[in-house]
Amino acid sequence: MTTANQTPPLAASIGRKWGLTLFLSVLLLPLAAEVLLKLGIAWPCAFKMITGLPCATCGGTRALAALGRLDLLSALRFNPMVACAAIVLVFLPFVRYRPNPKVFWPFFWTFVGLNWLYLIFFLPP
Amino acid sequence: MYKILGTDQREYGPVASDKVREWVAQGRANSQTMVSFEGGPWKALGTFPEFADILRSAAPPPLAQPTYVTGAATLKTSTLSNWGLACSALGFCCFPLALAGIVCSIMGLMEINKNPQSFSTSKTVPIIGLVLGLFLVVGNILLFISGAFTHILDRFPR
């Protein structure tokens, strides 16, 4: 359908919406994590309950709560991947660089694997 | 005369090159915007040498997925819906991710509903993400109210 004599929407509108969503999520997550931990109702990991081993996101709630308190070192100690993801997501809407998927996904899964190994051996109780 | 494809997947124009320049300057078009010159094939605006100067001086490119068009629009994946489903599923392990899953799924569903013909992702994906996220939230509340949570935490410490 051709729309003559009209003005197209801003080219960045979807990008802004995307940024807003992530920004809200990143603000929302540390707050929710803090409240859940304070009330003592943070969900125990289903994977850990079944296998006895931590999953790739174990320690994530504590990491997000630590980020909310701006305690970066504790956040990285509890779960480096969740802490890094939360920090990256805050700045993602403002970053112009888009990685090549062929480079990004192998890097991503390697990071997930290394993070998981760290959690299995070093996750604080 | 040029026609451009807006981020709403609608065609705008035909307009003269000055108008295209104006849209670039206003951030309504960029190097990734698909353009047809005199009814010819759709090409990215960045491939038109006559707009190279204005594109260089215009605002940075958007974060939106570029739309590649060769005669007809190519279907896009709803990234928000996929992340919504993934986050909701991970909510079983790290509960706050279920909240992110709900937010992303709602946004993904809105995105698909707004322009269903331009997405390859089915509505089922964000709906499953939303239902899964809500299930976890409601389940958590019910466990808390019923007192079962204390029992679970005693048996399976975090």
> How far apart (Å, rounded) are the C-alpha atoms in residues B53 and B65?
23
User: Which residue of chain B has the CA closest to A26?
Assistant: B100
Identify the pLDDT of residue A111: 94
What is the distance in angstroms between the Cα of B15 and the nearest Cα belonging to chain A? Answer: 8
**Of the ranges A63-67, A84-88, B77-81, the best mean pLDDT one:** A63-67
Question: Which of B55, B80, B82, B94 best tests the A interface by mutation, with the highest count of A CBs <10 A?
Answer: B94
Identify the pLDDT of residue B71: 41
> How far apart (Å, rounded) are the C-alpha atoms in residues A21 and A28?
10
- Assess B120–A contact: CB distance below 8 Å, yes or no: no
Q: Is the pTM of this model over 0.90?
A: no
DSSP per residue, A86-104: HHHHHHGGG------HHHH
Closest CA to B29 of A80, A57, A10: A10
Closest CA to A33 of B87, B133, B94: B94
Q: Is residue A115 over pLDDT 90?
A: yes
Using pLDDT thresholds of 50, 70 and 90, give the confidence band for residue A86. confident
Identify the pLDDT of residue B103: 87
Identify the pLDDT of residue A109: 93
Identify the pLDDT of residue B9: 66
- Kindly report the backbone phi and psi dihedral angles of residue B35, in degrees, each rounded to the nearest multiple of 5, phi listed first: -135, 140
Q: State the DSSP H helix or E strand holding residue B42, giving kind and residue range, or none if neither.
A: strand B42-44
Across the interface, of A18, A36, A45, the residue whose CB is closest to B93 is A45
Span B27-51, pLDDT tens digits: 778 877 888 888 888 888 888 888 8
Span B101-128, pLDDT tens digits: 898 899 889 888 887 877 888 889 999 9
